[in-house]
Chain A
């Protein structure tokens, strides 16, 4: 099992990306926010950060905790902590990476406390990976039907439910890499784990989701 320490937002050995400006996201094309202003406690700059980053961070938190109201309240707490702790930001990662680390940690803590979703166990994720014997596949994987992959009416829901079932460690990495499309390094910094651990979790998460989708996507036998 890969290391699972995740209490260290934006780890100090993060790759250096010390631009003075916070890059804008797609949602908040309001121009760059001055990092100096943020660090000096400028409220206008912080308000702009809230407006810019709220939508994307909210989506990430919803995917982790699976509840809109809970996610909205975690989002508020995230910005409160960020504002109170802005002087602890070390500029070794992007400010947004540091912000997301706070939000993700709060989301995970909330999920652990509530035990809201009955999810798969880590060992089940292991068992959902393909079986090999002497390094070769034991069974030939089925062929998926391209038409079902692209046209099955409830495929979006199926996938969403599949993602929800993944253990939190796997789900978080899958959401950040494959849905939000952060780089491996950014995700590693957000979660306080190594890039190698991100890769391993992502691969297993995809493998487990593939297994959940397999019965729905197989080519139907012609009768």
Chain B
């Protein structure tokens, strides 16, 4: 089985590492069509390089999601609204300010 897959890859009948890599995001997201997914799976099963790379790629996505939180200043929206009033963005506040 592995020999057949390797032979198909060598003959250009099955995707090689570069092609697999190109569609890795779609593979991870599960948006590849069934036929392509099956070909990918076959390649992954026989290719240590792609298997390791996929593992790193998945971990990178996971680590990105878990990166440092950005803390939001507590008065952020209040300050923005105050800025908008000061800039006379709100017409009625302009009236209120001038009276």
Assess A210 versus B77: contact at CB under 8 Å? Given A62-B70, A83-B84, A136-B16: no
Assess A179 versus B80: contact at CB under 8 Å? Given A43-B90, A59-B70: no
Assess A178 versus B64: contact at CB under 8 Å? Given A43-B93, A72-B73: yes
**Complex Cα–Cα for A98 and B84 (A):** 19
- B91 proximity list for chain A (CB < 8 A): 41
Does more than half of chain B's interface fall in helix, strand or loop, or is it mixed? helix
**A149 contacts partner chain B, Cβ-Cβ < 8 Å:** yes
Assess A159 versus B84: contact at CB under 8 Å? Given A51-B77, A72-B76, A203-B24: no
**B59 contacts partner chain A, Cβ-Cβ < 8 Å:** yes
**Complex Cα–Cα for A207 and B17 (A):** 14
Q: Are B89 and A179 in contact (CB under 8 A)?
A: no
- B47 proximity list for chain A (CB < 8 A): 137
**B35 contacts partner chain A, Cβ-Cβ < 8 Å:** no
Does more than half of chain A's interface fall in helix, strand or loop, or is it mixed? helix
Nearest residue (CB) in A for B92 is: A43
**B41 contacts partner chain A, Cβ-Cβ < 8 Å:** no
Q: Are B63 and A132 in contact (CB under 8 A)?
A: no
**Complex Cα–Cα for A47 and B16 (A):** 54
Q: Are B52 and A135 in contact (CB under 8 A)?
A: no
Q: Mark B49-65, 1 if CB is under 8 A from A, else 0.
A: 11011011101111111
CB-CB contacts below 8 Å: A34-91 with B: 41, 43, 46-47, 50-51, 54-55, 58-59, 62-63, 68, 72, 75-76, 79-80, 83-84
